[in-house]
Amino acid sequence: QIHQTVLEINLTAIANNIKTIRSQLKPKVKLMAMVKAFSYGSGSYEIANMLQYHGVDYLAVAFADEGVELRKAGIHLPIMVMNPEMVSFDALVAYNLEPELYSPEIAKAFAAFLENEGLRNYPVHIKIDTGMHRLGFMRHQLQELAAIMQKENYFTIQSVFSHLASAEDADDDAFTFEQATLFDEACAYLQQHTSDSFFKHITNTSGIIRHTSLQYDMVRTGIGMF
């Protein structure tokens, strides 16, 4: 295919943005970089390789195939897969990718897959719905999640997280902190039902800038890198 349009990415500028974001973090707070949709169309390997070089702690992709391509290209950072489809479970395990579990159905399906494969303590990330209503466990589903987690130790929880719906909007700050309260309650409940020591994260780029009290153990940046 031949196109007249060229998109030029300044990796030095992105690296400087990462440095600026890090300067706003409290000590020991980790940084997860969102490289889903092939780094928002800017080139998955090139961006991920630069992030790996500059010591980002975690990467996140939308689908397993994106993570597979990064592994094949030599990216060894931990990678969270946000939409782990059942047909991709084999690839997740084969390429050491860590799925986000966002519902009882996907958690049960992945547990059944691990049981069939004879695997235990596989790293997963638990998403909590605190009000954005996109994906995530609701409060009334946490008991069912705890029961799944405790059965045969199929999972090791790497992180529990949620997403702020409007961290950039001062008019919605009350709702943002209501989300944080629900998140705290969910994390406390899950911690009572597991011996895993997991990271907590809820803050996106806008939250990093506006809500330093919500940095927890890790923050996420995506479009903020650009």
Give the C-alpha separation, 116 to 103, whole Å: 20
**Is the sign of the CA dihedral 221, 52, 102, 36 positive or negative?**
positive
3 state DSSP class of 56 = coil
Does the reported pTM lie above 0.75? Answer: yes
The tokens describing 212, both together, are 């330093």
87 and 107 Cβ atoms separated by less than 8 Å? no
- DSSP for 153-167 reads T-EEEEEEE---S-T
Convert the pLDDT of each residue in 93-139 to its tens digit.
999 999 999 999 999 999 999 999 999 999 999 999 998 888 899 99
Convert the pLDDT of each residue in 163-213 to its tens digit.
999 989 999 999 999 999 999 999 999 999 999 999 999 999 999 999 999
List all residues 6 or more positions away from 67 whose beta carbon is below 8 Å from its beta carbon: 61, 79, 81, 91, 92, 95, 97
Mean pLDDT across 28-43 = 77
